[in-house]
Amino acid sequence: MSTHQQLLYHIVFSTKNRVPYLRKDDFRERVFAYMAGTCTELTGSPLRVGGHFDHAHLLVRIPAKIAVANFVGKVKANTSKHINETSGSLRKFGWQDGYGAFTVSTSQKDRVDRYIAKQMQHHTKEPYQVEYLNLLTKHEIEYDERYVWD
């Protein structure tokens, strides 16, 4: 018998200390495009990569043979390295250590895709910290707010 799977995730993480490194539209778009390419190189399927000035959202299929933690770690490390080597910035770019990974059912895929696509509008009304805590609560993930932002 063959193995069949559909492992779709909504992954969210912020820049280190939520510094708004991604303020410039063209830079932010290049970062997200590079991130999508990295997902593909890792044999994932990026359906949508977006975010705001201080964080990223990925809607991505991850193969079962790759642990989510390894996948996210490699995406973040490769993207940080690329930015630091090519941006010409005096400030060192980095992502926060942690991340949120939420499973997405096929029936909710389009809704999550639209949500990520509209991040710039969304954050005129709600800061990232509120958004992230709401995601944790919605997905019934217990957390200690003292350690969420490490």
Q: Please give the pLDDT value at position 47.
A: 98
Q: Please give the pLDDT value at position 6.
A: 85
Q: Please give the pLDDT value at position 1.
A: 72
Q: Please give the pLDDT value at position 149.
A: 79
Minimal CA–CA distance to 115: which of 59, 38, 53? 59
CATH of domain 8-148: 3.30.70.1290
Q: Please give the pLDDT value at position 90.
A: 56
pLDDT in tens, 7-46: 999 999 999 999 999 999 999 999 999 999 999 999 999 9
Domain boundary assignment for the chain: 8-148
Cβ count near 69 (within 10 Å)? 10
pLDDT in tens, 112-148: 999 999 999 999 999 999 999 999 999 999 999 888 8
Q: Please give the pLDDT value at position 146.
A: 86
DSSP states along the chain: -------EEEEEEEBGGG--TT-SHHHHHHHHHHHHHHHHHTT-EEEEEEEETTEEEEEEE--TTS-HHHHHHHHHHHHHHHHHHHS--SSPP-B-S--EEEE--GGGHHHHHHHHHTHHHHTTTS-HHHHHHHHHHHTT----HHHHT-
pLDDT in tens, 76-120: 999 999 999 988 775 789 999 999 999 999 999 999 999 999 999
Q: Please give the pLDDT value at position 55.
A: 97
Q: Please give the pLDDT value at position 92.
A: 87
Q: Which amino acid is at 55?
A: H
Cβ count near 38 (within 10 Å)? 20
* Choice between 117 and 149, residue whose per-residue pLDDT is larger: 117
Q: Please give the pLDDT value at position 145.
A: 86
